[in-house]
């Protein structure tokens, strides 16, 4: 069973953007589909690095998460430019 963990930063970003319902629905879909490669395309899950992935909540917003054994840890949410900035600073 895979668990979902949300960082404080992630919770704050989602709350301030007012996207709780949208993100909650996406998290459920990711939890159901993660590890099933054919479902990844519909969820728009894309590998960014060794353990780092992104998924989309819609056309403009993305969620970044790390996949470790038994857990998906969501750490950041934002649009394309914000995601690029996050990735440059985290690597």
In the chain, what are the domain boundaries?
3-90
How many whole angstroms separate alpha carbon 62 and alpha carbon 58? Answer: 8
Question: Which residue blocks in 18-79 are alpha helix, DSSP H?
Answer: 20-33, 37-43
Q: In the predicted model, is pLDDT for residue 32 greater than 80? A: yes
The residues facing 88 across adjacent strands are: none
Output the average pLDDT for the chain: 89
Task: Calculate mean pLDDT across residues 36-55.
Answer: 78
pLDDT confidence of residue 44 = 80
Q: In the predicted model, is pLDDT for residue 91 greater than 60? A: no
The matching CATH number, chosen from 3.30.530.20, 3.40.640.10, 3.30.2310.20, 1.10.3720.10, for 3-90 is 3.30.2310.20
pTM: predicted TM-score of the whole model, two decimal places? 0.87
Question: Which residue blocks in 1-91 are alpha helix, DSSP H?
Answer: 8-17, 20-33, 37-43, 80-90
């Amino acid at each position: 069973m895979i668990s979902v963990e949300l960082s404080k930063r992630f919770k704050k970003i989602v709350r301030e953007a007012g996207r709780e319902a949208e993100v909650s629905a996406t998290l459920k879909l990711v939890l159901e589909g993660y590890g099933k490669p054919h479902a990844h395309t519909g969820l728009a899950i894309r590998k960014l690095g060794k353990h780092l992935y992104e998924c989309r909540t819609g056309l403009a917003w993305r969620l970044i998460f790390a996949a470790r054994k038994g857990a998906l840890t969501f750490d950041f949410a934002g649009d394309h430019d914000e995601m690029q900035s996050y990735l440059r600073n985290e690597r």
